[in-house]
Amino acid sequence: MKRTMKPKTSTHKRPTAIDLFSGCGGLSEGLKRAGFRVAAAVEIDPKALTTYRLNHPSVTLYENDIRQLDPEAVLADLGLERGELALLAGCPPCQGFSRLRTRNKAKSADDPRNDLVGDFLRFISVMYPKTIMMENVPALADDGRFARLCDSIKALGYSYVVNVLDAADYRVAQRRKRLILLASRVHEPKIAETRGDRLTVREALFGVGAPSATSDKLHALPERRSDAVRKLIAMIPKNGGSRTDLPVEYQLECHKKSNGFRDVYGRMAWDTVSPTITSGCINPSKGRFLHPSYNRTITLREASLLQGFPIDYRFDVSHGKEAIALMIGNALPPPFIAAHAKGLLLGINQSTLTIATRRSVTGGDE
């Protein structure tokens, strides 16, 4: 079992969380913003591990295939007993449940990543945390493995809520539909209230500046486009324009033959949210990823800001644009996670206060 262990401090006042399937750290970032102390994280991808370590150096990091990891050993490493963990959170890899893959149900059902939902349940059963958070793609709700997970946690004594939400309603500057499950055995969990004001692309990218005039290596990573593609991009109308706005003679032949995927070679608009940030966010042929004003796609720094990462979140540029784009596209938006984690933290604190009050009244005889 390979892990990076961090020195333990004597006391921790903040409730402890563990992040399974941590990726580059979006979930952990959100949990920390909500007030949790992330004690440990599990991830298998080497580049995601490097990025996580750059931004969360105090977390005990398990560099493991979670299927080979013993949850009892993790509890022992952290000095926790069964039932003491405040929050177990994670997003099992969701590519097998993605909308495009589930159009072919046979292949989707056979994707081995889908079975990692069962490992999430294995950790719940052993660790018996006070609360649980799981986030994933909406299609997971229709899979039998998710239904079994819900039935199992109910049998363990958890109350839970499930909903499909748009991250844009929680101050994330993009449309992003996600399924979220919140569960607790110490209070009745609730979905966080939505925010009435959506964060726009303009607000999220405010003050970033031009890639040519920055010391931010992530923001400055260059584009490589053919002259023909550069010319095409320059003709797309600013602030929300699309390839469909071009005269027919300038449209690509492949675009003329297809009515689908109409967002490709489209620009974002300044005063609304962006489309879902995916691993293709640096490629104009993958979606509406052109900058609202400049004749280029958004940069990786801009993509990370639209996901809700802080501007100083660190990525190792030696990993290459495609690998970093994959990490950012797969990440959980920290503001979305924080909004729901705050509710779980409030429930934990209230239950702790209630227990303490009862013990003071009864003299500890409970």
User: What are phi and psi for residue 159, nearest 5 degrees?
Assistant: -90, 145
CA 313 to CA 29: how far, in whole Å? 10
Catalytic residues: 94
Place of tokens 């493995």: 145
The region that residue 79 occupies, defined by phi over 0 for left and psi between -120 and 50 for alpha, beta otherwise, is: left
- The stretches of the chain forming alpha helices (DSSP H) are 26-34, 46-55, 71-78, 105-110, 116-127, 144-155, 201-204, 217-220, 227-235, 253-256, 300-306, 321-330, 334-362
Q: What angle do CA 153, 89, 317 make, to 5 degrees?
A: 155
DSSP 204-253: HTTT---GGG-S-HHHHPPP---HHHHHHHHHSPTTT--GGGS-GGGS-H
User: Residue 278: how many CB atoms within 10 A of its CB?
Assistant: 18
- How far apart are alpha carbons 111 and 95 in whole angstroms? 9
Q: Which residues pair with 40 in a beta bridge?
A: 18, 60
Query: Tokens in use for 11?
Result: 């006391």
In the chain, the amino acid numbered 227 is D
The token pair at 81 is 């007993």
State the CB neighbour count (10 A cutoff) for residue 271: 12
CB atoms inside a 10 Å sphere around CB 143: 18
Q: How far is the C-alpha of 235 from the C-alpha of 247, rounded, in Å?
A: 10
Rounded to whole angstroms, how far apart are CA atoms 135 and 49? 20
Specify the pairing of strand 177-184 against strand 159-166: antiparallel
